[in-house]
Structure 1
Amino acid sequence: MKKGFHRYRSSERGAIDIALIMSIVAFLLSLGAAYFYFSFEKNYDAIDTVPYDESQTLPEKTIVPVEPVLEKEVSATSTTLMKESSVTVYIGSYGDIKKEYMDGIQSAVEKATGAQVTVLESAAALTKKTPLYDAKRQQFDADILLKGVETASLEYGAKSRFIYVFDVDMYSSSNPNLKSVWYAGTKGKNVSIVSLYGLQKKSDTDTTQAPSSLIASRLEKNALHMIGTNIGVPFSSDAKCIMFSPKTLADLDKQGTEYCSAEQATINTAFVNK
């Protein structure tokens, strides 16, 4: 009698254990699915900043604002990348980004790095919901967006790099005093984000629509700058260099379109010697 009862209780406990395990697995899977969705619902844009000390080294995490940091000077002679890279660069977008802008970034990155560049199919525009969107600031959180696309891009492997273009206004929750940001990336990572927002007006004082060619040029410079940031190329005080950190649209428009020689050497090493 006791033995039978014991057998019955063991069977019942086994059924309960299985049900519990299945519930836990289902819960974890739902978390994973929610995180995957969250990690791809992202975005990022432009910001004012406090100047850094010019002697500073490049920080591990770099969120580069409209008035960013100035770093080490490098010489201003561009070199041409001759070898073919084994690295693939993917360019993605969220929202209404013109094809000509995406094509321009693709061409600029191919020329500067020698990498194979693939433009991904555009994703839907971001929705204004927390935690991505701060209703009080009426901006998207660049830190969360960047973290999300970094996570979602892991499956592509170490020889892939990513640039995501967004069409919304963004700020950095880790630097809340900044008004907004143009782009963000982390040294040592392979993902960065740039924003179209803030680049579409003619100048810092003229809010009328800028020519498409000027907007495209601004985006291309910012994309190349962020590739350098990911790789760890120091910022430059030379406006002819891509790693120059413009404080205003006027500065950005005067900025050169190529890496300077020391910068290009680092880019070549990162892309060719793989």
Structure 2
Amino acid sequence: MPQKTLLLVTVGSPPSALVNALQDPLATHLGVSTVVSRMALSSPAYAFNKDRGQYHCNAIMRRLGTVLDESPQDLVMGVTDADLFEPDSPFVFGQADRESKVAVMSLYRLRQGAEGETLRRRVQVEAVHQAGHLIGLSYCEDSRCVMFLPQSPQDIDRKSLGPCNVCRNELNRLNR
């Protein structure tokens, strides 16, 4: 099976150094090559919910889907500083939709109590997690696995940058 290519698109103005730091972990742990888009989407005012003071991730993902339609890459992930939500959750670190091949992740909550290397690692773990969903991995019950569903930044700190053995076997099966 040919290697999947993921287009990374900034939404708003997350630091480019953090976006560029995603390429190696995605390739190493998932076998996904990445391209950082030269095109950036503006701040997602269209997705803002004034009652919650947050941005609806599905609206951003729909916009990212139009970028994927015009791209030779297989998958797209937006990286934003906006605080994301889904209606049934107080917040989300990110969201991925396997069917549309689109994901978005936010740095907003990952920044809580973190800077430098800790922040970079959190962003990398969340990117690998969302890309894992895009290529077919589900949530994992192992709290150290990158595919574990985190409830806090501290949960992300405890996670590995790569999949556990069970998820790695599933990844190998998906790549056949």
Give TM class, smaller chain: 0.7 to 0.9
Q: Percent identity?
A: 20
Query: 1: CA distance between counterparts of 2:41 and 2:147?
Result: 31
Q: How many residues align?
A: 176
Tell me the amino acid that sits aligned with residue 190 of structure 1: K
Query: 2: CA distance between counterparts of 1:183 and 1:120?
Result: 19
CA gap of 1:253–1:262, structure 2 versus 1, over 3 A, is same
1:153 aligned counterpart, secondary structure: helix
1:242 aligned partner: 146
Give 1:131-150 correspondences, 5 Å limit.
Answer: 132-150=47-65
2:67 to 139, 152, 164: 152
Give 1:68-147 correspondences, 5 Å limit.
Answer: 85-121=2-38, 123=40, 125-126=42-43, 128=45, 130=46, 132-147=47-62
Runs of 4+ in 1 over 3 A off after TM superposition: none
Query: 2: CA distance between counterparts of 1:86 and 1:220?
Result: 20
Aligned-pair CA distance for 1:225: 1.0
Query: 1: CA distance between counterparts of 2:5 and 2:44?
Result: 29
Residues 107 and 123 in structure 2, CA contact (< 8 A), matched pair in contact too: yes
1:172 aligned partner: 86
Q: Which has the higher contact order (CA 8 A, sep 6+)?
A: 1
CA gap of 1:101–1:148, structure 2 versus 1, over 3 A, is same
Query: 2: CA distance between counterparts of 1:127 and 1:257?
Result: 28
CA gap of 1:250–1:86, structure 2 versus 1, over 3 A, is closer
Unpaired segments ≥5 residues, structure 1:
1-83, 203-209
2:93 aligned partner: 182
CA gap of 1:231–1:116, structure 2 versus 1, over 3 A, is closer
Residues 188 and 231 in structure 1, CA contact (< 8 A), matched pair in contact too: no
1:225 aligned partner: 129
